[in-house]
Amino acid sequence: MRFKGPFSLALVLAGPLMAGACPNPAVVSEDHTNLFDTLKTSPTEMAGLSIQNQIWELWIVAPDEQSQLMLDDGRERIRYGDYERAENVFSELIEYCPSYAEGWNQRAFLRFLRQDYGRALDDITEALKLEPLHFGALAGRATTLINMGRTEVGVEALREAIKVNPWLSERHMMPRGEDL
């Protein structure tokens, strides 16, 4: 069950759910692997974006109800521009569920938005340790590096991301005439 609203995390923290530990995220299934293979070979952008969305849907399903509530709450706080509280929520999620890559990725995204690039890169590194094919984190690393003025390294990181997902919107950041 998913709760929406800025106070959903408070409901969780007040309840008995906090007593347990976060279960390990689901093991990567053959279907998950097949989605990545299909993504790379999708013949059209529309087909590729459909597969990309299916993968995102897998990533945003947290390991248990408590971590899901934290993830949803943090993402909603980003939408409302409550970055400070969103960072606290994602930090709580990571502390509760350190093996959940999307918790790290969401905090990295938030830190990118706050232009806290060094710490965003640290979180991206953790997300990629857990989910090496996380094209959102890979693209985030590229975008962060480029925003830091490390364009050459950022373009190389973007090249890596495009190998995993050739339909990334960030692919348009590649220099003109650049061979992928």
- How far is 44 from 137, CA to CA, in rounded Å? 23
pLDDT of residue 14: 38
pLDDT of residue 29: 62
Is residue 156 domain-resident?
Answer: no
pLDDT of residue 26: 67
Is residue 171 domain-resident?
Answer: no
Is residue 11 domain-resident?
Answer: no
Domain coverage including residue 78: 65-131
Is residue 73 domain-resident?
Answer: yes
pLDDT band at 12 (very low <50, low <70, confident <90, very high): very low
The letter for the amino acid at 104 is W
- Sorted by sequence, the CB contacts under 8 Å of residue 173 that are 6+ apart come out as 142, 143, 146, 155, 158
For residue 126, the domain's CATH number is 1.25.40.10
pTM comes to 0.85
pLDDT in tens, 91-123: 999 999 999 999 999 999 999 999 999 999 999
- How far is 21 from 96, CA to CA, in rounded Å? 7
pLDDT beyond 80 at 30: no
Tally of structural domains, the chain: 1
